[in-house]
Amino acid sequence: NAGVMQNPRHLVRRRGQEARLRCSPMKGHSHVYWYRQLPEEGLKFMVYLQKENIIDESGMPKERFSAEFPKEGPSILRIQQVVRGDSAAYFCASSPPGLDGTDTQYFGPGTRLTVL
Amino acid sequence: AQSVTQLGSHVSVSEGALVLLRCNYSSSVPPYLFWYVQYPNQGLQLLLKYTTGATLVKGINGFEAEFKKSETSFHLTKPSAHMSDAAEYFCAVSDPGTGRRALTFGSGTRLQVQP
């Protein structure tokens, strides 16, 4: 059973460009989470999605950032007009369907975004 | 809002020595508690978690942690460190009271193991 897949692993963008980060959850998992890790810091929650629904986006910056998890295909985290402060590692996690929050979140290897 | 404090951003131990990584949380309701390990340039791997039941939790690679409600702590221990334990360790919590699934992470503790 393949783990959480993220691509690309490394992404370089110039200021003002768009960044698209992809996440394929583990087989059978319908919950996806995105976290951001700034250098020398812990992970910060951004958004929690189920298929075709954003459940919790309390950690998403109000501008330039968006996320989706379509019925078919991977979850996408999109950053428009990137700035240097967006440089970070972005991790995706997935968990199986469940009624409470006890399920383990399984993390992907991350996408390291560098903004020049 | 919940917060997680990991005392000691860097911990160094000798191979074979006890490993103790500290984690305290702030929450009026006992949260769900997790320890993850991160190796360089990799994602996070779950070591162990506490949701309900027995307060001493055993995880992978010989690690264990004890939930102490009175001390709002969930410290991670291993009796004997191996060189392969060198990594960054993160404590995380989620809040069952709100139903939110987002994890709140501590800032991490980098463990060095000296030969």
pLDDT tens per residue across span B63-102: 999 999 999 999 999 999 999 999 999 999 988 777 778 9
CB-defined contacts A:B, below 8 A: 69
pLDDT digits (tens, 9 = 90+) for A26-80: 998 999 999 999 887 889 999 999 988 999 999 999 999 999 999 999 999 999 9
From chain B, pick out residues whose CB is under 8 angstroms from the CB of A104.
34, 46, 49
Q: Give the burial string for B81-99 (b: 16+ CB within 10 Å, else e).
A: beeebbbbbbbbbbbbeee
**A51: closest CA of chain B, how far (Å):** 16
Does A97 or B70 have the greater pLDDT score? Answer: B70
In sequence order, the 6+-apart residues with CB closer than 8 A to the CB of B3 are B25, B26, B104
